Amino acid sequence: MRFAVWLLGASIATVAVAVDETPIERGVAIRPAVVLDFPDRSGKPLGTLPPNAAVDIYERQRLWLRVKPTAGLQGPAGWVQLPDLRMGFSAPPTTATAPAPTPAAGGGGFSSFSRSVSGLLAGFQSRQSGYASGSNATIGIRGLTGGELNASSPNFQAFADIERYAVMPAQAQMFANAGGLMPQRIGYVTVAPPAPPSPTGGPR
Amino acid sequence: MTLPAILTLLVACASGPALALDLGGMLQNLDVNKVLETGQKLSAATREMPVNEEIGLGRDLAARILGTVPPHPDPAVQRYVNQVGRWLTLHTERPDLPWHFAVAGTDAVGAFATPGGSVIITAGLLRLMRDENELAGVLAHEISHVVQKHHVLAIMKRARAQLAADVAGEMASQYVAKNPLVTQALLGAGMNLYGSGLDQGDEYAADRAGMVIAARAGYDPLGLVYLLTTLDSIGVADARTQLLFATHPPTRSRIDALSAVADQLGAYRGSLQNSERFAQIQGSLLQ
């Protein structure tokens, strides 16, 4: 059955992505991710990406991502739900030449489809660039700790410095207008309370 | 007499004509002045904090955070983040607070809100963002903490516990010469809070409310979700995210929770049209 799903996905794999498209980002499936032909739960299933499957991302529509297996790999192309992927990797230079595995190899199905996540991390550039090189304006490449905060002395001069940049509402309005930001009337979202325990009870 | 009853009595004693009360033999072995002083502290920390005190506490806490991570020196960066943030605050229930925003010049990845309207994000976090929608998502999350007074309430709760412990210690005649003022207790509780984190329920609540505030201001409500996917890809092993991940719910859980909330917001995607201004600011951070 799993192999049949793979065959279905592989046969339609090139439908959703044009050949000369450039990916905007890369991602890795963190759990089995159903690939659909349309960015909606009503879409037709094209296959399933297994955990750790590497994909190129070509488009984002709300919580849906249009993906295709990373160059050299096989699998279904189409739309997956954003929470099913770990993303944030820069668009790749597309030099990957990993051979396409056969469905039967490595345990069959998609088990050999995945590429090592470490390979993707090696391409984690773009927004992370400059991260490694640092900047004269920063205090070094390291994290903060609660202990540092607890031991800190107040810097009231620094606080006075940043207060100078506070803007008035009218200035903020002008900034919003320049960005095309249109206010909306939206109420806060309510969250349904947890379901009460079943009256029939369960394992205790 | 139970301990709560004793504490109640002490608070009443501190806030009323204390010397007129006859506590009988109960206080025979106690330093009455210390008990009264501690009771006054407890009383002060128990009442609801007025807005001006909230603002003052927040400024002190922000100054301490900036004592660890000083502001980034680029005025354009500071001005830009203030414009985005102030616009967002106009779509909350507390638009009249003295809001201001700062970028701390550190590679560490994090963001802080202090009571009364101070918000600090790090340059390290700003560098990871894709666009202004993601910046708005983070700022709206921090703004939500201020609007809902998450830090004020948590700090007062901690300070009350500390001060009550002082009273209990006094009752046992083992009072240690540790006698901070209420302000110091609040500041101490506050800085401790930034190291240990808010209640996870407050973080999820700020995620949800922030998503709505961003959408009200015309931004894509999913900006925070997209940024969280980036943070998720960095992982907990990176030292720059150490404090962020230690003080927030698991990133993957936040993504899943927000994705569920997104369905309730419909198909709204924001109206931001200017992507250049964010790119310019981010570019200046990388120089």
Give residue B275's pLDDT: 87
The pLDDT of residue B66 is above 70: yes
The pLDDT of residue A92 is above 50: no
Distances (CA, A) of A74 to A8, A25, A80, A117, B175: 12, 18, 16, 16, 71
Question: HSE-up of B34 (CA within 13 Å, CB side)?
Answer: 22
Over residues A148-167, the mean pLDDT reads 91
- Are A61 and A39 in contact, with CB atoms under 8 Å apart? yes
B49 secondary structure, DSSP code: P
Interchain CB contact of B236 with A (< 8 Å): no
Interface of A with B in 131-160 (CB under 8 A): 131, 134-135, 137-150, 152-156, 158-159
Residues of B within 8 A of A181 (CB-CB) are 87, 217-219, 270-272
List the single residue in B with minimal CA-CA distance to A178.
B274
Report d(CA A90, CA A72) in Å as an integer: 18
More confident call, A202 vs B37: B37
Write out pLDDT tens, residues B119-143. 999 999 999 999 999 999 999 999 9
pLDDT band at B249 (very low <50, low <70, confident <90, very high): confident
The pLDDT of residue B41 is above 60: no
Over residues A125-141, the mean pLDDT reads 42
- Are B191 and B243 in contact, with CB atoms under 8 Å apart? no
Over residues A1-8, the mean pLDDT reads 47
Asked if B74 and A137 come within 8 Å (Cβ–Cβ), the reply is yes
Give residue B86's pLDDT: 98
Q: Which of A152, A165, A173 sits opposite B64 (nearest CB)?
A: A152
Give residue B260's pLDDT: 84
Interface of B with A in 43-62 (CB under 8 A): 59-60, 62
Give residue B140's pLDDT: 98
pLDDT above 70: percentage of residues in chain A: 57
Question: HSE-up of A182 (CA within 13 Å, CB side)?
Answer: 5
Residues of A within 8 A of B202 (CB-CB) are none
What is residue A88's three-state secondary structure? strand
Write out pLDDT tens, residues B173-185. 333 334 455 677 7
List the single residue in B with minimal CA-CA distance to A173.
B87
Lowest-pLDDT range of A27-36, A145-154, B101-110 = A145-154
Where helices occur in chain B by DSSP H, the ranges are 3-15, 32-46, 51-68, 75-89, 123-128, 132-147, 150-171, 182-196, 200-216, 223-234, 242-246, 251-262, 276-286
What the block records as the tokens of B226 is 């997209």
Residues of A within 8 A of B228 (CB-CB) are none
The pLDDT of residue B145 is above 50: yes
Interchain CB contact of A91 with B (< 8 Å): no
Lowest-pLDDT range of B30-34, B98-102, B196-200 = B30-34
Highest mean pLDDT among A3-17, A43-57, A85-99, B245-259: A43-57
Q: Which of A164, A62, A32, A174 is nearest to B102 (CA)?
A: A164
Report d(CA B170, CA B148) in Å as an integer: 35
Interchain CB contact of B30 with A (< 8 Å): no
A65 secondary structure, DSSP code: E
